[in-house]
Amino acid sequence: MLVLFLVIQPVSSVMAFSDVEWHWSKPVVTRAATLDFIKGYPDNSFQPEKEIS
């Protein structure tokens, strides 16, 4: 349900990470960043394939 909320709601301000332009998760990552749920790295990347702990 959370994923649907993140994808369906319009994005008011675009947060563009340099490495998710063609990644399958771009809509959700962009929406989550816009809502300040997530932050990227200082180099403006998100690193979607990086393992998390």
Summarize pLDDT for 8-19 with one digit per residue, the tens: 555 555 568 999
Q: Where are the beta strands (DSSP E) in the chain?
A: none
In this structure, how many other beta carbons lie within 10 angstroms of the beta carbon of residue 33?
Answer: 20
Q: Which two tokens stand for residue 50?
A: 């990086």
HSE-CB at 22 with a 13 A cutoff on CA atoms is 0
Conformational region of residue 13, where left means phi above 0, alpha means psi within -120 to 50, and beta covers everything else: beta
Range of the domain at 51: 1-53
Distances in whole angstroms, Cα of residue 51 to Cα of each of 8, 15, 47:
27, 22, 9
pLDDT in tens, 18-52: 999 999 999 999 999 999 999 999 999 999 999 98
Q: What is the pLDDT of residue 22?
A: 93
What's the pLDDT score for residue 53?
79
**What pLDDT is attached to residue 5?**
58
pLDDT of residue 50: 92
State how many domains the chain has: 1
pLDDT at 14 (0 to 100): 56
